[in-house]
Structure 1
Amino acid sequence: PTFLSIIIIFSSMVGGLQGLNQICMRKIMAYSSINHVSWMVSALLNSASVWFYYFIIYCIINLNIIIILGNYNIYYIKQLSKLFSFNKKNKFFFMLNFLSLGGLPPFLGFFPKWMTMNHMIVNNYYVLAVTLIIFTLISLYFYTRITFASFTINSEESLIKIFNKITYFHFMTNLFSLIGLIMCIIASNFF
């Protein structure tokens, strides 16, 4: 456990701090993955089922983000504002997925972090839990920096107009990000 704790802390530190000054979306996603590896290793340290849930949820959220980045050839943060001025649905779902990836409640990405944190506290890994929280908050800062440009809506825009022609695929793939709080409440009865 001591060696794994060092790996977890180091991964969390590298993923959180190195992502701060990045403007390239590929590097940001890479440092985000390094940070999530620290959470996955700590989940595996406590419970294999928690690790499995974390991995599946992480893959779903990342898939949504990678599809949008790949379809529109987005490589840098500055490209986001121009892209999302034309497609409001993608702007909304991209923002929700990035906030979910950061583990912000009540989104789906909070659920595996909450379960991992719960198991770490039960198993008396207090220092590890606090360290992960600190570096996750740093990571959440650069996630919000990414979403801030696409978050604002002009005065002539309306969310009702945005959702007039929503497709079933967009709705179903992003529904997971919207129901995170409900899943946390249901799962708290089982874990």
Structure 2
Amino acid sequence: EAATKYFIIQAAASSLILFSSIMNAWHTGTWNITQLSTYPSTITLTIALSMKLGLAPMHFWLPEVMQGTTLSSALIITTWQKLPPMSLLLMTTNHLPPLALLTMAIVSILVGGWSGLNQIQMRKIMAFSSIAHLGWMMAILTMSQKLAILTLLIYMMMTSSLFLIMISTSTKTFKDMSQLWTISPTLTTTCMLTLMSLGGLPPLIGFLPKWFILKELTNNHLILTAIIMAIFSLLSLMFYMRLTYTATLTISPNTTNSMMKWRFKPTNIT
């Protein structure tokens, strides 16, 4: 089911990209997608790339697809699969509508934070985290491409770290996160730092791109936008802190001699 949803969404987005190229070629006589000159083609391309990335309001497929896949596939979807659409956005950023990108950015930060508050599945939480972080990238894309790339790289690094911890410990839900300490205290500490970094708490590395983005928005006289984004990011910080609390501050006061979780991987008995 998840594979079918992913295929349909990606195929539809690819068709829209091709349709945008056809419209641009019809008006300009060139197939170069980096030289979009008509408003319909730029809007169509923006919608298509938003669908591929999972930006709000075209984000509905991302949490469901990630919940229906394995942790390894979810890691690929949230990191590696973001590179092709982001590359196209960076190539065409001079022709894309800034107001549309900024609006989608603010909506994505709001939706990513608000929708992640009530989730108990780790893959869905990471999906909404992806949506919120993509909002920060879109907000700065038309002003500073280097800063957008920096934000993407830091996001991919932190998300990969968290997913690798989840894969190595078979953590899929909040309940599993509360039992993470029984496997490895070191991984628990690393998980805590990664989550707080994703939330953007200083002095961790996740604070760096958000600080630079807010500073760049302020320099471009978008003070109200910067304030709104900073306020909406508190929603994301809330569920990151919930995860941090669950993973590190709900440790049982009793000592245990077992370093295994109370759930075993299924094994084939032959």
Q: TM-score scaled by structure 2? A: 0.56
Q: 1:19 aligns with which of 90, 109, 116?
A: 116
Q: 1:34 aligns with which of 131, 136, 139?
A: 131
* 1:28-84 deviation per Cα after TM superposition (whole angstroms, max 9, x unaligned): 000000000110011212201111111111111111001011122211111111122
In terms of mean alpha carbon deviation, does 23-32 or 143-152 score higher?
143-152
1 CA distance for matches of 2:182 and 2:225?
A: 41
Q: 1:10 aligns with which of 90, 95, 107?
A: 107
Answering whether residue 106 of structure 2 is matched by residue 106 of structure 1, we say no
Q: TM-score scaled by structure 1? A: 0.78
Q: 1:89 aligns with which of 186, 191, 203?
A: 186
2 CA distance for matches of 1:127 and 1:23?
A: 33
1 CA distance for matches of 2:99 and 2:140?
A: 15
Structure exhibiting the larger radius of gyration computed from Cα positions: 2
2 CA distance for matches of 1:156 and 1:119?
A: 49
Partner residue, 2:60: none
In terms of mean alpha carbon deviation, does 104-113 or 75-84 score higher?
75-84
Give the counterpart letter for 1:22 in structure 2: Q
Answering whether residue 80 of structure 2 is matched by residue 80 of structure 1, we say no
* 1:84-139 deviation per Cα after TM superposition (whole angstroms, max 9, x unaligned): 23310000000000000110111000001111111000001122211211111111
* 1:7-43 deviation per Cα after TM superposition (whole angstroms, max 9, x unaligned): 1111111101100100000000000000001100112
Aligned pairs for 1:1-191 within 5 A: 1-152=98-249
Task: State the secondary structure of the residue aligned to 2:221.
Answer: coil
Give the counterpart letter for 2:221 in structure 1: N
Higher RCO (CA 8 Å, separation ≥ 6 residues): 1
1 CA distance for matches of 2:154 and 2:190?
A: 16
Structure 1: which 5+ residue stretches go unaligned? 158-191
Q: Alpha-carbon deviation of 1:156?
A: 8.3
Structure 2: which 5+ residue stretches go unaligned? 1-97, 256-270
Q: Is the 8 A contact 1:54 1:112 kept in 2?
A: yes
2 CA distance for matches of 1:134 and 1:51?
A: 20
1 CA distance for matches of 2:221 and 2:150?
A: 21
1 CA distance for matches of 2:245 and 2:170?
A: 20
